[in-house]
Structure 1
Amino acid sequence: MRISTVTMFEQSTASMNRQQSDLMRVSQQIASGRRVVNPSDDPQAASRAIGVDQAKAVTEQFSDSRVSARNSLSQTESIINSVSDAITSAKGLLIQASSDTLTDENRESISSELKGVYETLLGQSNSTDGNGRYLFGGYKDNTPPFVKSADGSVEYRGDTNTREQRVDSTRLIPVADNGVTIFQSVPSGAGYVAEAKKEDGTLNQGNVTFRGPQTLDVNDADYGSDYRVSFDGTAADPTYQVQRFDNETDTWVDNDTDGAALSSGNWTDDISEEGALSLEFGGLSISLEGTPAPNDEILVAKSGGDVRGADLFRTMEEAIRVLENPADNATKKADQRNTLNTAMRDLDNSLDNVLTVRASAGARLNELDVIDSVSSNRMLNYEQTLSDLVDLDYTEAISEYSLRQVGMQAAQKAFVDIKGLSLFNYM
């Protein structure tokens, strides 16, 4: 077989190019620290590495989301802690104001302090995050959730939704509770509260005061229903009647759920020697003292229920009202005592509710720490998988680099020798 000089030159050039290409490939691997520099180096490993990189990027994005969620929850917990301190302060002021040794001027001074606590609570309820969004307005986070109306009462103008944020592929976590949950709710285990006020909101004209209500039997068939003690007759000869609120008909009825008539009678005839009337109904008991006026009412309702919803601001407003007005007659003194007793029970329920919400926020913060820990382990696994797929074994690479250098030098030396083989050298 005849091999031409051109063929020898072409094969030698191809051999050197191949050796140089292999040497450059190993050189790039050593310079980059990666075994797979181009997808063609290992198509299967390159494809798997892309999937791992994408999963790693998603995990990092969730990590950034958890930072944002943690900031919101930390701020929420801090504000709720301040709210609980304010409620505790308000309860202390009401206990102080309940003392019979205080004068009207003393109570007016306490009222001024209570107004400061009230304004503090209102400011905390309209707190914003670092981006100017209101924390407790639900999805309506662009306007203050709690606003004073024309009559001076506070209205909630947010919604009842809870803003949530996805912090992991399978976890959507609430990052801010709405205002209803914090300021207008009570815990599920909250009991009964009595209130001396008519259904239309006007004050009683008599001077009946109450003690209680006390729970006697939570297993009573009618426990959980709402009740009222209404007064009728004349001022000289008043009568009383206990009624139950029927949720099906949305009216007050005179019997329990089994059809038995509830308590009723003549106030003067049924009052005890101690000057009090003790009533028992629906697993509850309440003691009444004083003299009622016709159409007066004492509401005994489940706290936070449909008949008497919870409202921290309304409680504060009522307490401020009776403290800043002098109690210069028996009716006003009864109103003051009843209102303060009701307010203190409401504050106890509100404090329990706020502490429950705070505990929930703390639990969510702890959950974020757990998710962070799991995410860190996941990131380590991703890093190890990527290293196994594309990272370079330097010992092996340097050995191959040396081998490719020898191959390159051999190809060059062979080319030099071959190109010198010519008959003209012997002529």
Structure 2
Amino acid sequence: MRVSTVMMFERSVSSMNRQQSAFMQVGEQIASGKRVVRPSDDPQAASRAVGVSQSLASNAQQSDSRITARNSLSQEESVLNSVSDSLTRAKELMIHAGNGTLSDADRQSMATELRGVYEALLGQANSTDGNGSYLFGGYQDGAEPFVKDASGAVQYAGSDQVRQQKVGSSRLMEVGNTGRDVFQTVAGGAGYVARAGADNAGTLTFTGPQVADTTASGYGDDYAISFAANGDGTFDYTISGPDGDTTGNYDGTSATLEFGGVRLTLEGTPEDGDALEVGTAKNMNPDVFATLENMLSALENPLDSDADKAAFANTLSTSSRETDNALDNVLTVRASVGARLNELDTLDTVGSDRKISYTQTQSDLIDLDYTTAISDYVLRQVGLQAAQKAFVDLQGTSLFEMM
């Protein structure tokens, strides 16, 4: 092989360039704090680091989503607390209204306060969050979920679908409740409700119903009771249910009827054609606004006859039980909201642990070990200096001097 001066120079320059490139690469790593500055430094580690970065970004997005969900649920919990207070006050007024010494003026005064509770409850049902969306409108959150129709009755106009949000890698959480779930539903196990017919004209009143036997045939079914006068002061009654009719005789003063595992106590004298409904609370059109509207109508009407007093007593009994059921349902929904808030706290803890794990993995893949890097930096520096010194020495030599 022919050795020329040009070849020796080229090899010396090439060696010096390699040493300088390696030296600059280590310097760049130290300056950036990264072992993998560009994918070509370690393609496998760079590829894995991209996946870990995506996991970190997804985890951060879920954390932001949990903040939004927590804000919505916290606002709902606050409103439900106010709703509970309103229903509690309504129940107190109903209990007071049962005082037989009250005059029509007294009941009218109570109706005024109950009307305020009713309007406050309507305002709470139409509460909005910080973004102007209605808390209880479901997906239809651009308009008030509860509106009054032409007759003045409150109707639900929102969606029956609850808004959901992804708050974890595999958790899609409901971040609210529909107005129907809160104000027009009863909790499971709410029991039975009795209601007098709208056209009743007698003095018949009822107490109950109470559950007598949950294992009885027909328990959980709905029943209708009708009365027919016999002309001798007694009445035949018919209890109609899914399994057929049951008949009996009522003496026109008092009696206790037991059917389908429930017990209903009657007092007073019905008129021919008077009727009662007895059914599970969930099938008796549970609506807290309708309950308060019925109670307001009863309080605002004067009691001029025994029939009026009986109708008032029956409305009071039904409304009181329905208010209890509504309050139980609101408390159940509020407990559900609290459980979801607790779950968000747990997911935050899991998310924080996952972030630490991802960050550590990412660091192991691309971050720099400064001790090793500084040692390598010094070594590369010595190598570069040696290459430079060799090149300087080579510049002063010539093959002609060897001849």
Gaps of 5+ in 2: none
CA contact (8 A) 1:234 1:293 kept: no
Q: Secondary structure at the match of 1:176?
A: coil
C-alpha change, 1:18 and 1:342, in structure 2 (3 Å) is same
Q: Is the 8 A contact 1:125 1:179 kept in 2?
A: yes
Instruction: Give runs of aligned pairs for residues 4-153 of structure 1, distance below 5 A.
Output: 4-153=4-153
Question: Partner residue of 1:230?
Answer: 226
Q: Which moved more, 1:412-421 or 1:128-137?
A: 128-137
Aligned AA for 1:394?
A: Y
CA distance in 2, matches of 1:411, 1:70: 64
Q: Distance in 2 between matches of 1:337 and 1:423?
A: 127
Range that drifts further, 91-100 or 137-146: 137-146
Deviations for 1:262-299, whole angstroms, at most 9, x for unmatched residues? Answer: 1322x4xx34xxx3122121112212222212221111
**Which residue is 1:406 aligned to?**
382
Q: Is the 8 A contact 2:254 2:268 kept in 1?
A: yes
**Any residues of structure 2 matched to 1:287-326 within 5 Å, and which?**
287-305=265-283, 308-326=284-302
Cα deviation, residue 424, structure 1: 7.0
Read off the aligned partner of 2:50 and give its amino acid letter.
I
Report the 3-state secondary structure (helix = DSSP H, G, I; strand = E; otherwise coil) of the residue aligned with 1:127. coil
* Aligned partner of residue 240 in structure 1, secondary structure: strand
Deviations 1:302-348 (A, max 9, x none): 1111xx12110000001111111111211111111111111110011
In structure 1, what residue type is equivalent to 2:200?
N
Which of residues 256, 260, 264 is equivalent to 1:278? 256
Give the C-alpha shift of residue 423 in structure 1: 6.1
Of 200, 211, 214, which aligns to 2:207?
211
Q: Secondary structure at the match of 1:166?
A: strand
Q: Is residue 235–residue 293 contact of structure 1 (8 Å, CA) maintained in 2?
A: no
Residues 240-279 of structure 1 mapped to structure 2, 5 A cutoff:
240-246=236-242, 257=243, 261-265=245-249, 267=250, 270-271=251-252, 275-279=253-257
| 3-state secondary structure, aligned to 1:304 | helix
Which residue identity does 1:166 align to in structure 2?
A: K
Residue by residue over 1:162-204, the C-alpha shift from the partner in whole angstroms, topping out at 9 and shown as x without a partner, is: 111111121111111111110011111011111112xxxx331
Amino acid at match of 2:83: V
Q: Distance in 1 between matches of 2:185 and 2:234?
A: 36
The root-mean-square deviation of aligned C-alpha atoms, in Å, is: 1.7
SS at match of 1:222: coil
Deviation, 1:139, is 1.8
2:275 maps to a residue whose letter is: E
Distance 2:57 2:205 in 1: 67
Quote how far apart the aligned CAs of 1:2 are.
3.2
**Cα distance between partner residues in 2 of 1:236 and 1:20:** 121
Q: 1:310 to 1:235 in 2, by over 3 A?
A: farther
Distance 2:234 2:151 in 1: 34
Summarize deviations over 1:104-151 as a string: whole Å, max 9, x none: 111111111101110111011111112211111222111111111111
1-side partners of 2:91 and 2:367: how far apart? Answer: 66
Q: Distance in 1 between matches of 2:161 and 2:148?
A: 21
Give the total of aligned pairs.
Answer: 403
CA distance in 2, matches of 1:68, 1:300: 44
* Shift in Å, 1:41: 1.1
Please tell me the residue identity of whatever aligns with 2:319: A
Output the CA distance in 1 between the equivalents of 2:169 and 2:402.
81
* Residue of structure 1 equivalent to 2:373: 397
What TM-score do the two structures reach when normalised by structure 2?
0.96
Task: Give the residue type in structure 2 aligned to 1:97.
Answer: A
Give the superposition deviation at 1:214.
1.6
Q: Deviations over 1:361-391 (max 9, x none)?
A: 1001111111111111111110110111111
Distance in 2, matches of 1:221 and 1:407, equals 97
Partner Cα distance (1:157, 1:294) in 2: 40
**1:333 to 1:236, Cα distance in 2 relative to 1, 3 A:** farther
User: Cα offset for 1:237?
Assistant: 4.5
- Find out whether 1:239 has 2:238 as its counterpart: no
Aligned with residue 341 of structure 1, among 317, 324, 335 = 317
Deviates more, 1:129-138 or 1:237-246: 237-246
